[in-house]
Structure 1
Amino acid sequence: MTSSGYRIAHVQLLPLLSGVQRVTLDELERLPPGYQRWLICKQEGPLTTAALKAGAQALISEALVREIHPRLDLRALWQLWRYCRRYRFDIVHTHSSKTGVLGRLAARLAGVPCIVHTVHGFAFPAAKSGLQRRIFHAMEWMGARCSHLVICLHEEDARICREQLKLPAERVAILPNGIDLEKFSPVASGDQLRALRSDLGLPVDRQLITMVGRLWEQKDPACLVEAYCQLWQRGDPGADLILVGEGDLQPQLQQRVAQAGLQQHVHFLGWRTDTPDLLRASDIFVLPSRWEGMPLAILEAMGTGLPAVVSDIPGNRHLVDHGQQGLLFPMGDSTALADALGKLLVEPELHTRLGKNARLRVEQFHDIRARVKRIESLYAEALQW
């Protein structure tokens, strides 16, 4: 069988179009047309709609849930196994922690010849107790045993695979995320920037600080909102805050904004399909996450020429060198974040230099076209084992 005839299924949990899901969509869209492509996830949504538009088929496994749930997990395992047997996939490519374990185990039991998993950050940092950490580690160990290949986004996660999960080095590949460099590109002029902001309904006469991501614990948007409130305690910073995304923390964030009397200057936009334009219309990008793999949101912001102010954690600091493409601050430290934002808002030369360096870095190392070609070759190599 030639590579163009492979039957491939990507397994995701939620049908959103946030970072992890967009990695899958980019790969499904850009594989050669001869590939027969499927997407498996919990329910229909924006991701399944986009996958169908890209020529893939969508399959639903409603028993998939994020939390550990023995009854539903066994049902999901059976559903995934049944899909693997029915459609005779040559390649199953899984994402996320628990979904990745179930998908790989089902594929192994079904005899799928090539089982690949992409690590978008391990679950260990999210563990709330020693017991939970041991459970997460055991799950990842089992998933690794079922994998022909594990793709890591950076060396730090690859080392965990080799040293803690005991995977042979030849079954671990390092492949950074990539973006569409034409889609995510800087604005050409100040006139274009003002016109774009006007079209988007954003303030034309203020700088814009933007975060793109789910409003939940992992992304720690409360740290950013608190930092922005601190900026105002020092005086009007001349900048508005843009939050692109939804999540459980939104009511709490809106309450804090109202308490500070800043409703006019903090814009909750929800999930948007025009993220490239929103980034191009912005001045500074922020991601204060508690843990990450390799966030597409940072790469996309860097592609549009924005300096990135991000928490100093694995994943983020693999993309942003402090003082080169942006600024790092200690995770959860809203005062340090406010200081970093204040510095960029009043130092235009620093802002410009960091933004140019950010664009150059993604041009050199994070082109989605090169990434998909490398994935194709990894599939071919794994199928030969």
Structure 2
Amino acid sequence: MKIVHIIEPFASGVAVFVKSLTETMPEDLHIVIHGERKQVMSAKEVKRIFPKQNVRFIRWKSVQRSINPFKDFRAFTELHNILKRLSQKGFVDAVHLHSSKSGFLGRLACRFAGIKNVVYTPNGAPFLSGSNPFTNFLFKQIERFGNKVGGKVVCCSASELAEYQKIGIDASFINNGVSLKETAPLSSPRGKKDKFQVITTGRIEEQKNPALFNAIASFFEDYDQIEFIWAGDGKDRAVLTSKNITVTGWQDASSIKELVSQSDVFISTSLFEGLSFSVLEALALKKPVLLSECVGNADIIMTGLNGDVFNTETEAIVKILNYFNNQEMLEVMGEYSFEVCSDKFNVDSNFKHYRKAYQMDEGQKEHIPLIGVA
């Protein structure tokens, strides 16, 4: 098959998602139409992580993250022309749209280009993205309109699917996954550390709720034995003011893996997720995970076995104190984390279901089974 991927946020988790698809289906040709977020990572750097034999790239020059009618119309026109040209040359069997901006503009462009076999994966429902009710309402209407334009919505977790069903959008889901081979725990034993480490990774921005991370860390400022690490960077870095927080800046994948492997507990304070690759990688690295109770995170936890969820700052603090005072249980919890990842979030088994989604035309939209693992 010839599969066209359209991706505006060509960085972070969404880029990992597309990369995993290209690796899971090596016999297919993948054409990646992409934007760029230089403040996170240049497109040139992102391309290096993709396989070379079955992936080709086309730059989507005019697309940008924020909503701007004039610029978005330019981005739509450019995308339509690219898709029309590819379709006329026989390079489109299916189109897969990744994230909300690509999902909306991509469905319109496919409709005008006469392409019907379209899959849209939100990887984080945009109508859950902020505290502004009007903005969330607007995003709901955009998602509903986009769904009427065409294509099939395939969510990346059961809880994300439930949110789409609540607003009247029929969808299916395929769980995100990570490679257990690529994300295998480090074989060498971890050296003795001076401090108990609580880590998170990724972009420092509102969705990840750095203010909550900072508040939790601040409680432990006078605990010399406990430190917090944010492996990543972002526009809200200044929010992380607690003196016991280390911000590493952007790191390559191997450095992130080493940092997580050497830590004791992985924490996520996110307001919402699709199904976080960072958390899944922590599971694969045999880490207990402490996660805010939100869409995406809710699919991962087996309470008390591989970690816990929390709703408030106080609940998170109590859990960290419990882990710190009972460190002998963390290794057992880490083993459960790996089992959960192997059973539910193994990319080698989960992402093969996308081939089935690609092979269905739009007339079969209403009959896509729930092919994820609940």
2:262 to 273, 281, 299: 281
In structure 2, the gaps of 5 or more residues are 37-42, 365-374
Moved more, 125-134 or 292-301: 125-134
Maintained 8 Å contact 1:116/1:147: no
Q: Please give the secondary structure, in 2, of the residue aligned with 1:270.
A: coil
Query: For the residues of structure 2 that align with 1:120 and 1:14, how far apart are their CA atoms?
Result: 11
Partners of 2:327 and 2:193 in 1: CA distance: 17
**Does the C-alpha gap of structure 1 residues 104 and 288 become closer, same or farther in structure 2, counting only changes over 3 Å?**
same
Post-superposition CA distance 1:211-265 (Å, at most 9, x none): 11101111012322331221133x32x2332211110111332xx13xx4x4xx6
Structure 1 stretch 203-212 or stretch 301-310: which is displaced more? Answer: 203-212
2:4 to 9, 12, 20: 9
Bigger mean CA offset, 224-233 vs 87-96 = 224-233
Question: Whole-Å Cα distance in 2 between the matches of residues 48 and 29 of structure 1?
Answer: 13
In the other structure, the counterpart of 2:250 is 270
Q: 1:99 aligns with which of 94, 98, 102?
A: 102
Contact 1:309 1:327 in 2 (8 A): yes
Which whole-Å CA distance do the structure 1 matches of 2:25 and 2:162 have between them?
28
Quote the offset at 1:77 in angstroms.
0.8
- TM-score, normalised on structure 2? 0.87
Q: Give the corresponding residue for 2:159.
A: 156
**8 A Cα contact 2:230 2:248, kept in partner:** yes
Q: State the Cα deviation string for residues 139-171 of structure 1 (Å, max 9, x = none).
A: 10122123432111233332343442343xxxx
Within a 5 Å distance, the mapping from 1:244-323 to structure 2 comes to 244-253=231-240, 256-257=241-242, 260=243, 262=244, 266-274=246-254, 275-323=256-304
Contact kept, 8 Å, 1:120 with 1:294, in 2: the verdict is yes
User: Which amino acid is the alignment partner of residue 248 of structure 1?
Assistant: K
Contact 1:310 1:327 in 2 (8 A): yes
Instruction: For residue 96 of structure 1, report the CA deviation from its aligned partner.
Output: 1.1
Unaligned runs of 5+ in 1: 1-5, 195-202
8 Å CA contact 2:200–2:231 kept in 1: the answer is yes
Picking from 41, 64, 69, the partner of 2:34 is: 41
Match of 1:374 among 350, 353, 357: 353
User: Could you tell me whether the CA contact under 8 Å between 1:11 and 1:39 is conserved in 2?
Assistant: yes
Residue 111 of structure 1: CA displacement?
1.3
Any conservation in 2 of the 1:144–1:165 contact (CA below 8 Å)? no
| RMSD (Å), alpha carbons | 2.2
Partner of residue 343 from structure 1, selected from 315, 318, 322: 322
The match for 1:197 is none
> 1 CA distance for matches of 2:246 and 2:160?
35
Partner of 1:198: none
Is 1:79 the equivalent of 2:49?
no
Task: Tell me how far apart the structure 1 counterparts of residues 283 and 8 of structure 2 sit (CA, whole Å).
Answer: 27
Q: List 4+ stretches of structure 1 deviating above 4 A.
A: none
Structure 2: distance between partners of 1:248 and 1:174: 31
TM-score (structure 1 length as normaliser): 0.85
Change (3 A) 1:110 1:211: same
SS of the counterpart of 1:324?
Answer: coil
In structure 2, what is the Cα distance between the partners aligned to 1:118 and 1:218? Answer: 18
